[in-house]
Amino acid sequence: MDEKSKEEVLERGKRFRKELDKIAMAIGHLVIRFNRLDRDLGEVIYLVVGSYKPHIREVFTASLSFAQKVDMLSALLLEKHKNDAKHLQTVKQKIKKIQEFEKQRNTIMHSWWGTEQFGDDEFISTKQRVRGGKGLVKNTIPADAEKIMHICSDIDNFLWLELCRLHTIENDES
């Protein structure tokens, strides 16, 4: 490898390390926000069940995965509002949004980040899986810290503006 090639490789490495730092910071923000969403789902569950003691919430939801909390909250609210089409629609929309956040989080958290091959110019995120008899499925997209931060912002907005509406629905009927 000549000197010019070595310099290009080193420069590309520096550029990718900067991008990786941005991605890592964005993923860290995503982890924090998603964990808050996870905790707040437990909060809404225990409010729906009717217990207002924090230690009861923790006992009740500590062993549940995120998906199990979503399923439990969905079942509780769908049962509670089964005779109210307006509230049912609201519940279904909120649950769908929560499930979308989980899918986005899982895709980001279980991807690998870098270049496809040594010397490539594009920094990417790739998630590979084998499922459903389809063979290897490989989803590759350009790595984008801003997109991850946008997801974080969406989760924040949901936490403060929408998840609390599930609790408001509960209070409206009490």
Return the amino acid letter for 21.
D
Q: CA dist 125 to 20, 140, 141, Å?
A: 11, 6, 5
Pairing between β-strand 136-142 and β-strand 124-130 as defined by DSSP bridges: antiparallel
SS3 64: coil
Side chain identity at 147, as an amino acid letter? K
Cα radius of gyration rounded to whole Å, the chain: 21
CA–CA separation, 115 vs 122, rounded Å? Answer: 6
* Cα-based torsion angle of the residue sequence 32, 35, 39, 41 in order, rounded to the nearest 10 degrees: 120
Q: For residue range 14-71, list pLDDT tens digits in order.
A: 888 888 899 999 999 999 999 999 988 988 888 887 766 767 777 778 889 999 999 9
d(CA 80, CA 43): 17
Helices (H) and strands (E) in the chain, counts: 6, 3
pLDDT, greater one: 19 or 99? 99
Distance, CA of 77 to CA of 45 (rounded, Å): 9
Strand partners, 112: 126
**What pLDDT score was predicted for residue 69?**
93
Report the percentage of the chain scoring pLDDT > 70. Answer: 91
Domain range summary for the chain, segments of one domain joined by +: 3-109+145-173
- pLDDT for res 71: 95
Tell me the C-alpha distance between 23 and 21, whole Å.
Answer: 5
